[in-house]
Amino acid sequence: MVPRLPLLGTVLNLPIPDNDLTRSFDAKLRKVSLESLLIDCLRTRSQEQPTLFVLDDCHWLDPLSQDLAEAVAHAIADRPVLLVMAARLAGKEDATALGITRQPHATEISLIEFTAEEAAQLINLKLAQFFEKTESIPAELVERITSRAEGNPFYIEELLNYLHDRGIDPHDAQALQKLDLPTSLHSLILSRIDQLTESQKSTIKVASVIGRLFRAVMLWGAYPQLGNEQQIKVDLEILSQLDLTPLDTPEPELIYLFKNIVTQEVAYESLPYATRAMLHEVIGQYIEDIYSDSLNQYVDLLAHHYERSENTAKKRFYLLKAGEAAQANYANGAAMDYYERVLPLLSVQEQAEVQLKLGQVLELVGRWDEAFERYEAALATAVQLNNRQSQAKCQTTIGELYRKQGQFDQALIWLEQARLEFEALGNEAGVGQALHYSGSLAAQQGDYATARDRYERSLAIRRSLDEKPQVASLLSNLAIVARYQGNYAAARFLNEESLEIRRELGDKRAIAVSLNNLGNVALDQKNHDEARAWLEEALSLQREVGDKSYIANSLNNLGNVVRALGEYETACEMYKESLAISHELGDKWALAYLLEDMGALAAFKSCPIDRCSLSGAGGARFRAKIGARIQPWKKKAGTMLAPARQAVSSTAGGIPQ
């Protein structure tokens, strides 16, 4: 796991430099490899002792954290791990958004209002903190507070804090008779804030702009008008004692926390809009100044503050930067949100580029109709501006999306338009990309001669531009076409050339794909020992990279090889590990392929014939018998999985991409 250490920088918000392994990871691989790393660490740790996670305010989880929580929830079903997530959910849609509620081993507990007995118990416990007297609390006071709070435990606590702030003794019947309790939680908290000194009021209000969790240093650093460091520390200590912003982390960090989000909201809303906007800007400027060497780690925070300021230029800059960072981190939900928010702030020309980026994210999450709308909007802008380069780029993107949807005629029209436009503009890279996509389009339709012609033309362009990753990809695609046509010698030669380039580039994931493809060719040729060597090396690299879907695929392929070698127990172990991973990932396509192969293994194991006897006339009869037993299932699986072969084959070398 150590080579994947740099991936933890995202979780820890630390600038951990990439190494030779992680430097080549794209956004998707970084995400899945990081999740795999964290889950493996958790599963290992849970073998030593039971583990409990408690996550509060989960309705504010960012999309990456939601994905991680869902992956963890899926992976702990067979481990002594308890994941508790507290969230305020408005309805079923919010609950479903958390993801974990869909797990069969998840239990959802609705926290309803306190009963009268529970409220009384809380009141007694809270008052015991304030007063030395131990006699029973007047029933009238319990009734008044419980009725006013309507069973809300935070409201109950705040009402008791309200009494304490005013020095009212709960045993003083005369004082209680004159007591006029605030009519709402909002007014209650506001009245508590109003009782503070001017200095304390200013401190809590500026803190509310920073966030629910805030560092004390930011108060005097970002807004010196609050006073000197010592004065602010005194104010914070009093606010902590009043249970408004209790201490979260002591010196030297000195971090405070609004006890409840409602307290922060009331303090924030008590500020005039212009003051809020001004404070957001000065806080943003402070973050830029203090963290100038590592701003990439704070783009979300900067986007948050500048978006609420009047600084339009900074607002536009950081929203766009945050969207790009989210897209690069495969945080698709966050990326879409940022792009939507920044679009109205951009010029017409800038909007076209962001529409394309937004469309790419929508495409990734399967919202293809919306992706089309974004691509078409970007194309319309490009036409309006007479930007032919952008037009051709949009045409290529639209054509590729049609290809992925299986709308082959439309795809060809758009890709040809793009190619011709790029040729007219002299953009060789664009021509090469359009030809690459067109080659994959032809391969999907079984037109291998056309696919080979387009790939070779694209390859010539890529070689002239010295675009080595694209050269390796095209060689791999040409190898797949050759394999489909039964030309195993050509498939092997092309895969070996692709592998050589990928080894030179040091892209371990791509190296593993080439090794996997070579293993499949060797398996087709029944060179089982050679296939095993290729696939074992591929599996070793996949484990190092940490993409579990690739690991499961390599285990499946390797299981097929050792099954052919008659090592049924070894094959069974590989299939079982692949099956466990695919179940963990919820990958139904992979499960279907694997179950087909496990069925074949079961058929072989059920016959008391060793590998050496599978030759001659007897062997032919045996193979025919086994084939007849398996063929109906293979035919059914093939029909069911035809779309999947097009969608997932780039990882296994099935359909060129």
Taken as a whole, the chain contains a residue count of 657
Structure tokens at 480: 């797949």
Is the pLDDT reported for residue 621 higher than 80? no
Quick: pLDDT tens for 535-587.
Answer: 999 999 988 888 888 899 999 999 999 999 989 999 999 999 998 888 877 77
Do the Cβ atoms of 175 and 204 come closer than 8 Å?
no
Quote the pLDDT of residue 158: 86
Strand (E) or helix (H) holding 227: none
What is the fold, at CATH topology level, of the domain defined by 467-657? Answer: 1.25.40
Quote the pLDDT of residue 648: 32
DSSP 407-467: -HHHHHHHHHHHHHHHHHHT-HHHHHHHHHHHHHHHHHTT-HHHHHHHHHHHHHHHHHTT-
Sheet of 213-215, strands arranged across = 213-215, 255-257, 247-249
Q: Give the C-alpha separation, 217 to 208, whole Å.
A: 14
Quick one: DSSP state of residue 3? G
Quote the pLDDT of residue 653: 44
Quick: pLDDT tens for 236-272.
Answer: 999 999 989 999 999 999 999 998 888 999 999 999 9
Quick one: DSSP state of residue 406? T
Do the Cβ atoms of 35 and 67 come closer than 8 Å?
yes
**Alpha carbon 147 to chain centroid, angstroms:** 44
Is the pLDDT reported for residue 379 higher than 60? yes
Q: Which comes out higher in pLDDT, residue 655 or 300?
A: 300
The mean pLDDT of 289-303, rounded to a whole number, is 91
Of 437, 280, 338, whose CA–CA distance to 62 is shortest?
A: 338
Give the SS3 label for residue 180.
Answer: coil
**Alpha carbon 349 to chain centroid, angstroms:** 30
Q: Give the C-alpha separation, 561 to 122, whole Å.
A: 66
Quick one: DSSP state of residue 49? S
The mean pLDDT of 417-441, rounded to a whole number, is 96
Number of helices (H) and strands (E), helices first, in the chain?
A: 31, 5
pTM, two decimals, is 0.76
- Residue 636: pLDDT band (50, 70, 90) is very low
CA angle 335, 322, 366 (to 5 degrees): 10
Domain residues of the chain, as ranges? 2-102, 116-181, 467-657
Quote the pLDDT of residue 259: 87
Is the pLDDT reported for residue 481 higher than 50? yes
Q: 255 forms bridges with which residues in the sheet?
A: 215, 249
Quote the pLDDT of residue 612: 37
The pLDDT > 70 percentage for the chain reads 90
Do the Cβ atoms of 374 and 398 come closer than 8 Å?
no
Is the pLDDT reported for residue 652 higher than 50? no
Quick: pLDDT tens for 66-93.
Answer: 888 888 888 888 889 999 998 887 654 5
DSSP 237-299: HHHHHTTSS-EEE-TTT-EEE-SSHHHHHHHHHTS-HHHHHHHHHHHHHHHHHHTGGGGGGGH
- Residue 613: pLDDT band (50, 70, 90) is very low
Give the SS3 label for residue 607.
Answer: coil
The torsion angles phi and psi of 470, rounded to 5 degrees, stand at -70, -35
Peptide bond into 252 cis (omega under 30): yes
Quote the pLDDT of residue 269: 94
DSSP 68-130: HHHHHHHHTTTSSEEEEE----SSHHHHHHTSGGGSTT-------PPPHHHHHHHHHHHHHHH
Quick: pLDDT tens for 147-193.
Answer: 888 888 888 888 888 888 888 877 777 777 777 788 888 888 999 89
Quote the pLDDT of residue 57: 83
Quick one: DSSP state of residue 50? -
Q: How many CB atoms lie within 10 A of CB 166?
A: 12
Structure tokens at 636: 């059914």
Quote the pLDDT of residue 631: 53
Q: Which comes out higher in pLDDT, residue 465 or 588?
A: 465
Q: Give the C-alpha separation, 473 to 507, whole Å.
A: 12
